[in-house]
Chains A and B, each alone.
Chain A
């Protein structure tokens, strides 16, 4: 699943560590999220969306056939 975390973080001049502290996760988790290596849980996605002041759908781009069992 793609996301706009890196783009938004950079535009708001927030460091990875600051974002990690705000979301109560490690910096490595932020790096993995930005690289698309790790998909956030609903809780983390909600926290991240709240941090950037947008909805989960706006922050995370769901690409159709991901784990829909089809």
Chain B
């Protein structure tokens, strides 16, 4: 439980740091995309706004949890519950397999309409497979 509390204290520090640095990063990004298209500017604004909102939300919720023993224990149980972890693991396994198959289908289908889209999807799929193999090799060594 103490380890978990430490983890949440660190999470709070990171969230506060994110809250403080995000506006600077936002203005820096705005400056960088000044001459770019309206779409790029909108994308950057949307992305940084979402990051700012999630940072503030994370900082507030972590602060509340850290100052309420009952909620901290509840969160500890929820996050360390082995059945929940097993469900999350299986969900990730199944969903990545489904998305891999769907991307493969999309590569073939998009090949009839747009070469660029098809190649982009193929690269994305190959990158995903490479990352999976790399992570798998890491865990094989670790365990």
Contacts and interface: CB of A to CB of B under 8 A. Distances in A.
Contacts, number: 27
Contact of B83 (A21, A29, A43): A29
Which of A21, A24, A28, A38 gathers most chain B CB within 10 Å? A24
Interface residues of A, number: 13
A25 interface: yes
Interface residues of B, number: 9
Nearest to B1: A24
A53 B51 CA distance: 50
Which of B81, B82, B83, B86 gathers most chain A CB within 10 Å? B83
B20 interface: no
B1 to A, nearest CB: 9
Contacts of A26: 77-78, 81, 83-84
